[in-house]
Amino acid sequence: MRKSTLEEVAAAAGVSKMTASRALRGAADVSKKTREKVLLEAERLSYVGNQLALSLSSQRTNLVAVVVPSMLNIVFPEMLAGISAGLQGSGMQAVFGISDYDMAKEREIIRDMLSWRPSAIIVTGLDQPPETVRMLQHADIPVIQLIDLDGTPVDFNVGLSHGKAGEEMAAALLAAGRRRFGYIGCGLERDLRAGKRKAGFEKVLRENGLSFQHERVDGAYSSIAHGKQLTMSMLAATRDLDCIYYSSDDMATGGAFACLELGISSPGEVLIAGFNGLDVARALPIRIATSISPRRQMGEAAATLLLSASRGNPPSEKVIAFYPEITGID
Amino acid sequence: MRKSTLEEVAAAAGVSKMTASRALRGAADVSKKTREKVLLEAERLSYVGNQLALSLSSQRTNLVAVVVPSMLNIVFPEMLAGISAGLQGSGMQAVFGISDYDMAKEREIIRDMLSWRPSAIIVTGLDQPPETVRMLQHADIPVIQLIDLDGTPVDFNVGLSHGKAGEEMAAALLAAGRRRFGYIGCGLERDLRAGKRKAGFEKVLRENGLSFQHERVDGAYSSIAHGKQLTMSMLAATRDLDCIYYSSDDMATGGAFACLELGISSPGEVLIAGFNGLDVARALPIRIATSISPRRQMGEAAATLLLSASRGNPPSEKVIAFYPEITGID
DNA sequence: GTGAAAGCGCTAACAC
DNA sequence: GTGTTAGCGCTTTCAC
């Protein structure tokens, strides 16, 4: 069955398209009687407005484009949930795209999304290649780069410094007396933020005359199973370690499982340190150290920011900085 | 800077809108020279096509609407990743909405999405209220109900029987010699599928003259922390149990953590049984039983289905059934 | 191989 | 309070 149009609703109600349009949008100056008649006919005809026509005509959409690298790492869905919640009630609608950590794919997704003329766009990270940056600049809408703060934003920037997060974790672990460090990570060539954390961590180690004594890094996607496997491998090779820093909490959770299976006392003998503050890491039977990243709040902050921007209240600050809280040490 | 239009590109290239349109879409009958000129000018003007105008004019969109209840339970993002992957390369674009397990919210999201005139719509589960069902029927596009099979579909149906999954898990546990069962669940009034699994499980218990001897059910959202807490509470009250069935694997993972902390031998003394086959459950230092639900494959199957439907190849079957595999028993 | 005219369904702007 | 006119940016259709 063909979808009915505003014109048909208007005809059925015996008014013009314009009056029907006003009635359906709840405009003030429509007589009560007319409004009710229009709403009744719309209901009877199962009328569903056409956003394509609406947006084309009014030159604005209620769309916010969001591009994330993955759905398989829970932090991104959590961020999306934050964005979605922050947009709640504003009439804005988030549209998500997944780039699979692939810059070329990200560029194509952004291009696709821009062709829908969204009111704003949120992308992950600050490390887009020049061509993508150019597209974003040309889009002439608020651009929010989310999660990371280490770099030069195109427009708005909401996130935390991953370099600093690594530094602070290293400092906290040193202060707690740990000295013999290992590193276990995954997909650093894709997950640039994990790389920044590692670099920050290493910087502080170096300043203290130390370095990672053992490393296991491979190109696979971050996962619990992988963290477990790499930890097993490292602990089979050496026990001369009192702390392992992981690229993220899922990897660290795998590390905790490895310790449990091997019967290695943790945090006593080896302290496991991750990043994110995932639920799973907090419920673990052994205590692990982590930096809690407020990803839901970052999503909400981004939503709030772009709502005020698109309402013409230019936010005073282009950058909103968050600070991860370190837990699980002592 | 205002976005440039097809008309401007055409003017710059010295051709008509129509020719520019053909060149940009890669139509066959445009001379090579003309095409190159148009592409060059489009590039120079940073031209980005306008999908609003395109879709309004051509009366079709490349949009697939998808509504999920939550982003905080990893199974839904995994399903979305499957849909997104299945759509890859088809030119179709998935648009996601989150209902928060709220039927009224789901209805409004579906209404919103339909106003964009998507080519198909995918919703979670089969238990939409009549008004929502009516909207879906009126939409006159392929409707896919995903994940669940226990009910009457509006149109297409891809999923598994959660009732059966519960039955089969109970049967398998009984076959393995377990007799004294507990149940721990969360949010069953929202998560109807968890309720169906429980009902199936209880049915088989009843047929064997058994029942759940202990239950802990509350209305919170499913989580590892919650599963741990409810398990602690149950095991503090009784040890007269040899198996606990959980509403899902995250709850079950919490249960496994509880056993580890309490030093209860598992699966020896108490077997933990969940549902989904989450990565975390598989990497756990103790073995737990679970039904592995192929959520990514279900997403991909839905994508494949609607692609063939929208290409005019009516799929022969309206229902695609998946069967979860039970692991971790013996 | 290219172009002109009509129209997709709606809203903005203005008239009454 | 309601209607009219014009037009959003593209594709469809048909003509050349």
Scanning B286-325, the segments in alpha helix (DSSP H) are 295-310
Q: Cα distance from B208 to chain A (closest Cα, Å)?
A: 36
Q: CA A325, CA B296: separation in Å to the nearest integer?
A: 34
Q: Cα distance from A115 to chain B (closest Cα, Å)?
A: 5
Mutation target to probe the A interface, by most A beta carbons within 10 A, among B46, B80, B98 is B98
Q: CA B210, CA A292: separation in Å to the nearest integer?
A: 45
The one-letter code for the residue type at B60 is R
Are B71 and A77 in contact (CB < 8 Å)? yes
Closest listed residue to residue B112, CA positions, set B124, B102, B100, B121: B121
Q: Which helix (H) or strand (E) holds B115?
A: none
Number of alpha carbons in the 13 Å side-chain half-sphere of residue A167: 10
Q: CA B168, CA B175: separation in Å to the nearest integer?
A: 10
Cβ-based neighbour number of residue B91 at 10 Å = 9
Closest listed residue to residue A67, CA positions, set A40, A105, A29: A105
- Contacting residues for B49 by C-beta, under 8 A, at least 6 apart: A115, B6, B24
Determine if the peptide bond prior to B294 is cis (ω within 30°): no
pLDDT band at B290 (very low <50, low <70, confident <90, very high): very high
Tell me which residues of chain B, numbers 196 to 235, contact chain A at a CB-CB cutoff of 8 Å: 223-225, 228
Which one of B80, B96, B224 has the shortest CB-CB distance to A283? B224
The percentage of chain A sitting over the pLDDT mark of 90, rounded to a whole number, equals 89
Lowest-confidence region among A139-148, B89-98, B160-169, B201-210? B89-98
Q: Is the CB of B50 under 7 A from strand C?
A: no
Backbone phi, then psi, for A127, in 5-degree steps? -110, 35
pLDDT at A192: 95
Which one of A70, A77, A93 has the shortest CB-CB distance to B72? A77
List beta partners, residue B243.
B181, B271
Q: CA B13, CA B36: separation in Å to the nearest integer?
A: 9
Q: CA A80, CA A98: separation in Å to the nearest integer?
A: 12
Q: DSSP per residue over A121-189, as a string?
A: EEEE-S---HHHHHHHHHT-S-EEEEEE-SS--SSEEEEE-HHHHHHHHHHHHHHTT---EEEEEE-TT
Residue of A nearest to B136 (CA): A46
Q: Kindly state the average pLDDT of the residues B214-243.
A: 95
A chain contacts of residue B61, beta-carbon cutoff 8 Å: 52
pLDDT tens figures, A200-258: 999 999 999 999 999 999 989 999 999 999 999 999 999 999 999 999 999 999 999 99
Q: Is the CB of B117 under 7 A from strand C?
A: no
Closest listed residue to residue A251, CA positions, set A219, A217, A274: A274
pLDDT tens figures, B91-137: 899 999 999 999 999 999 999 999 999 999 999 999 999 999 999 99
Q: Does pLDDT of A1 surpass 60?
A: no
Q: What's the whole-model pTM score?
A: 0.94
Determine contact: B90 vs chain A, CB below 8 A: no
Lowest-confidence region among A63-72, B37-46, B114-123, B172-181? B37-46
Residue of A nearest to B254 (CA): A283
Q: CA A193, CA A222: separation in Å to the nearest integer?
A: 13
Are B78 and A72 in contact (CB < 8 Å)? yes
pLDDT tens figures, B134-151: 999 999 999 999 999 999
Which structural domains are found in chain A, ordered by start?
6-49 (1.10.260.40), 60-160+295-322 (3.40.50.2300), 162-292 (3.40.50.2300)
Q: Cα distance from B259 to chain A (closest Cα, Å)?
A: 9
Residue nearest to nucleotide D9 (CA to C1'): B53
Residue of B nearest to A95 (CA): B95
**What is the rounded average pLDDT for all residues in chain B?**
94
pLDDT tens figures, A58-93: 999 999 999 999 999 999 999 999 999 999 989 899
Q: CA A83, CA B45: separation in Å to the nearest integer?
A: 32
In which residue are the tokens 């974790």 written? A169
